Amino acid sequence: MNKYTIAAQLIVALSIAYVWIFRFDNIVKEFQQYGLNDLTRSLVGSTKIALSTLLVAGIWYPDLILIPALLMAFLMVSAQYFHFKTGNPWKKHLPSLLLLILCLFLAAESLKFMG
C-alpha cells in the first residue's frame, strides 16, 4: 500500500475515534434527531470503532482493508441518508461524505493490491 492509502486509513480511523469518543454528546443528539434508539447508536458506534481498528491493522495486513472499507462506506451512505431525511444543512453532510469518499478510495486501492 502507498502513503496515500495509509493516510486515508488513519484519517478515517482517527475521525471515527474523535467523533465517537470526544464528541459523543453530539452523537447522542444526532441519533435522537434521527429517531434512532440507544441500542442502534451503540451498535453503530461499536461497529465503526471495530472497522476503524481493522483499517489501522490493514496498514500491516493489507488483506484486511477491503471489507471494513466497504462496510464503513455503507455506514457513511446511511449517515448521508439520515442527514437528508432530517433536512440537515450541507455543513453536517460533509464529514460523512468525505469519509465515504475515503472509504471508497481505500476499497478501490485494496482491489488493485489484491489483483
Please write the tens of the pLDDT for every residue from 36-61.
Answer: 999 999 999 999 999 999 999 999 99
Question: Quick check: 8 and 105 in contact, CB under 8 A?
Answer: yes
Q: How many domains does the chain have?
A: 1
Contact present, 69 and 55 (Cβ < 8 Å): yes
Instruction: Identify the domain containing residue 46 by its residue range.
Output: 3-114
* pTM for this predicted structure: 0.94
User: Three cell numbers at 46?
Assistant: 461499536
Span 83-97, average pLDDT: 95
pLDDT for the residue numbered 113? 84
Written as one string, the DSSP assignment of 63-80 is GGSHHHHHHHHHHHHHHH
The three three-digit cell numbers of residue 33, written as one number: 434527531
| Residue 9 confidence (pLDDT) | 98
In the chain, % of residues over pLDDT 70: 99
